[in-house]
Structure 1
Amino acid sequence: MPAVQDVLVVGGGAAGCATAMLLARAGVAVDLVEIKPDVTSVGSGLTLQGNALRVLRDLGVYDEVLAAGYAFDVTGLRAPDGTVLVEMRDVRMGGDDLPATVGVPRPELARLLLDRAVADGVKVRLATTVTSVSPDGDVAFSDGSSGLYDLVVGADGVRSRVRELAGIPAAVDPVGMGIWRVLTTRPESIERTDLTYGGAAYIAGYCPTGEDSIYAYLVEDAQDRTGLSPEEQLATMRALAGQYGGPWVDIRERMADGAPTNYTHFESHVVAAPWHRGRLVLAGDAAHSCPPTLAQGCAQALEDATVLADELLAADDVETALTAYVERRLPRARTVVDGSVQLARWLLTHEPPPQAGGTADVPGLLGRTAALLTQRP
């Protein structure tokens, strides 16, 4: 018998939906609350590598994700003027039967996961969150209702309310970089991710997210951009994009007025063990977060869900299950966070590669990470 029969999941992102789906399919009664009234209202694009695709296939949504997104197996490196420097065949971390990468609009993935969770029997309430949570699973909600659960899963993001209520300490650290993102139409010439390191930004990159969409991004020093209007945000990103050649010329022209542009700062954290207090446990960004330099944020959230559900369904008691979950997930998540932060720091300090007397062994770091993530968590 599973360690739990009634579970509350707080947060309707990748970690929350995947955890809810896996438990519900095993006969567990699952409630899911999400503070946003519409999970598809925010976000631009996602780069899903093979280990994320492997989980999505296990969840039964891979075909829909593939239909909504854009698959590719090669990454290019370009000079700021657009000249192609290197074309690299990516590691298929999910196995030879899956592509190396699928780009997908973030709102579309959110919709697919939440819809499938509902279809699997998860009871979903939007525009709702928790106002109090006790270690024994007694919960009060923002809509005035309450409930008692065998387990509360805090999958409610970097600034997790569940983590705060549980008294689990976490220091979310700024990395020193900010990222502009935009979702726009795809020029026919873009069929893969290309990255430019250097020039006006630390990183200029893009990822096709569908037959007629791409997600483009530019990474700069972290700045306070909160006072900019949507029109000023778009103008600022267009000006930065104008410093790059090649496909960026087309991308810049396609950033039409009203394009959904957003700006966020890179942050990172890893909650020290244990990730649980009594019948409360953390997953996804509530437990660990990293800058997107390795494109592993969503993948690590999905891996949390699979391992957490696996342990809950295999163990006879909650404490055993949660202890095993953290033992399996913490080292792997920490490795990904540390690697993501290391890449960012090399860029911030302009650290040269080993052949030039420096320590920035980017190919080595990427290779070690790929070897780890090719293994199932």
Structure 2
Amino acid sequence: MTLKVLVVGGGIGGLATAIALARKGHRVTVIERDPDWSVYGVGIIQQSNVVRAMEQLGVLERFIAAAFGFDAVEIFAPNGIMVARIPSPRLVEGRPANVGIGRPALQNVLAGTARELGAEVRLGVTVATLQDDGTAVAVTFSDRSNGRFDLVVGADGVNSQIRGMVLPDAETPQFTGQSVWRYNLPRHADLDALRTFNGPTGVGLVPMSQELMYMFVTTPEPGNPRYPVDGLAARMRERIANCSPVIRELGEQITDDAQVVYRPLEGMLVTGAWSRGRVVLLGDAVHATTPHLGQGAGMAIEDAIVLADELEKDKDVARACVSYRDRRYERCRYIVNASLSICYGQLGKGPPVEMHQATADMFKTVAKPI
């Protein structure tokens, strides 16, 4: 049975959903509220389960070509001494366990594939109303157009409009007390792994091409302040002033305010239903995680594959949406809670977490089939 599907949100989760459903023969329309479809220019970690998921989506060759592969995570003490190098399991033979990739490059891979598979992409459009009559969902859009769809997928992020429309009593994102700063830098020639530096200020270095790596820095930010662009580089340098010498030295290259990406960290897990009738949610819309285990995008991509799989198994769309949530809940709950535990440990709001053990446990968990 071919379904007519509306995907709300043109980010990683939404595009993965478009690809997974289009490959099953469904007709997909993606709407994205940003008329420029812009993506901030720093990188993202995609770990072994994502490499496997990209193979399942049929985009692995493009994905690997646009990325930098590596097979380990190195854990450093705050003083810069390495305490562990943790091998990552390869889940696709002949391919790296993990990759770092620029977000624009990942967007190009996914968007290009979705369009080649026939997905329609409409920019600068949002949903105005939804009405599920049990046989289809009638949708009116912000541009006053309308349509009827067999399924609507809300992949519209942590502040999901669709979640608010169909699950108004569901959990909402909560600021953790911590924020993340990101900046691109020239890659050190010996950087062949993700390097994480523990401490109240957490730092990571991620290779994403032969030429580039990016630095992420997690810091306490009481009161959830919002900073102007002017002065962001200086603020980021201030945040790493007490880190190890190698991090401070790299910080001297953080000079361009406009290239600093600053984001407050929010966490959320919808513990009840993830769907209502023919409208279903995925990714950050139902399980927004902090980046401490590098699995936010990975969980959304896996969601897309499982949703397409369940829709193939069960022709009852509403029932397939429930089965999708049943398959995904425990895995996503683990990632959200384990990531928050690291975050709260860094903030002194919970017991400190041994990063090498948390990382090893995560790799073991995500290596399991989805």
Same fold by TM-score, threshold 0.5 exceeded? yes
Verify the 8 A CA contact 2:57 2:305 in the aligned structure 1: no
Question: Equivalences for 1:111-122 in 2 at 5 Å?
Answer: 111-122=108-119
Paired residues in the alignment total: 366
Counterpart amino acid of 2:368? Q
* Partner residue in 1 for 2:34: 36
Please state if 1:349 is matched with 2:353. Answer: no
Match of 2:52 among 37, 51, 54: 54
Q: Measure, in 2, the Cα distance between the counterparts of 1:369 and 1:96.
A: 20
CA 227–271 in structure 1, closer or farther in 2 if over 3 Å, else same: closer
Match of 1:18 among 7, 16, 19: 16
Q: Measure, in 2, the Cα distance between the counterparts of 1:213 and 1:287.
A: 32
Q: Measure, in 2, the Cα distance between the counterparts of 1:104 and 1:265.
A: 22
* Partner residue in 2 for 1:277: 276
Match of 2:86 among 85, 88, 102: 88
* Partner residue in 1 for 2:296: 297
SS of corresponding position for 1:156: coil
Please state if 1:370 is matched with 2:363. Answer: yes
Of 135-144 and 152-161, deviating more is: 135-144
Cα-to-partner distance string for 1:239-266 (whole Å, 9 max, x where unaligned): 3234334542553233242551121122
Verify the 8 A CA contact 1:18 1:113 in the aligned structure 2: yes
Q: Measure, in 2, the Cα distance between the counterparts of 1:183 and 1:40.
A: 17
Counterpart amino acid of 1:179? V
Q: Measure, in 1, the Cα distance between the counterparts of 2:188 and 2:339.
A: 29
Q: Measure, in 2, the Cα distance between the counterparts of 1:286 and 1:89.
A: 31
Q: Measure, in 1, the Cα distance between the counterparts of 2:104 and 2:114.
A: 15
Q: Measure, in 2, the Cα distance between the counterparts of 1:231 and 1:241.
A: 18
Counterpart amino acid of 2:289? C
CA 345–311 in structure 1, closer or farther in 2 if over 3 Å, else same: same
CA 52–20 in structure 1, closer or farther in 2 if over 3 Å, else same: same
Verify the 8 A CA contact 2:201 2:240 in the aligned structure 1: no
Please state if 1:131 is matched with 2:128. Answer: yes
Match of 1:103 among 100, 104, 127: 100
Q: Measure, in 2, the Cα distance between the counterparts of 1:276 and 1:66.
A: 33
Verify the 8 A CA contact 2:75 2:355 in the aligned structure 1: no
CA 172–320 in structure 1, closer or farther in 2 if over 3 Å, else same: same
Cα-to-partner distance string for 1:114-137 (whole Å, 9 max, x where unaligned): 111001100001111111112341
* Partner residue in 2 for 1:180: 181
* Partner residue in 1 for 2:150: 150
Verify the 8 A CA contact 2:295 2:335 in the aligned structure 1: yes
Counterpart amino acid of 1:8? L
CA 332–88 in structure 1, closer or farther in 2 if over 3 Å, else same: closer
CA 228–38 in structure 1, closer or farther in 2 if over 3 Å, else same: same
Of 328-337 and 151-160, deviating more is: 328-337
CA 363–157 in structure 1, closer or farther in 2 if over 3 Å, else same: same
SS of corresponding position for 1:231: coil
Counterpart amino acid of 1:148? R
Counterpart amino acid of 1:83? I
Q: Measure, in 2, the Cα distance between the counterparts of 1:319 and 1:82.
A: 52
| TM-score, scaled to structure 1 | 0.90
Q: Measure, in 1, the Cα distance between the counterparts of 2:292 and 2:340.
A: 8
Q: Measure, in 2, the Cα distance between the counterparts of 1:256 and 1:134.
A: 50
Give, in angstroms, the shift of residue 149 of structure 1. Answer: 0.4
Counterpart amino acid of 2:359? L
* Partner residue in 2 for 1:357: none
Q: Measure, in 1, the Cα distance between the counterparts of 2:166 and 2:324.
A: 18
Q: Measure, in 2, the Cα distance between the counterparts of 1:289 and 1:352.
A: 22
Of 57-66 and 246-255, deviating more is: 246-255
Of 362-371 and 176-185, deviating more is: 362-371
CA 12–287 in structure 1, closer or farther in 2 if over 3 Å, else same: same
Verify the 8 A CA contact 1:39 1:107 in the aligned structure 2: no
Verify the 8 A CA contact 1:284 1:304 in the aligned structure 2: yes
Counterpart amino acid of 2:7? V
| TM-score, scaled to structure 2 | 0.92
Counterpart amino acid of 2:112? D
Listed as ranges, the gaps of 5+ residues in structure 1 are 354-359
Q: Measure, in 2, the Cα distance between the counterparts of 1:131 and 1:273.
A: 25
SS of corresponding position for 2:341: helix
Cα-to-partner distance string for 1:295-327 (whole Å, 9 max, x where unaligned): 100100001000000011221211221121111
CA 61–190 in structure 1, closer or farther in 2 if over 3 Å, else same: same
Give, in angstroms, the shift of residue 63 of structure 1. Answer: 1.9
Verify the 8 A CA contact 2:84 2:356 in the aligned structure 1: no
Give, in angstroms, the shift of residue 166 of structure 1. Answer: 1.2
* Partner residue in 2 for 1:73: 71
Cα-to-partner distance string for 1:210-262 (whole Å, 9 max, x where unaligned): 11111111111124676533231111112323433454255323324255112
Give, in angstroms, the shift of residue 95 of structure 1. Answer: 4.3
Q: Measure, in 1, the Cα distance between the counterparts of 2:349 and 2:325.
A: 35
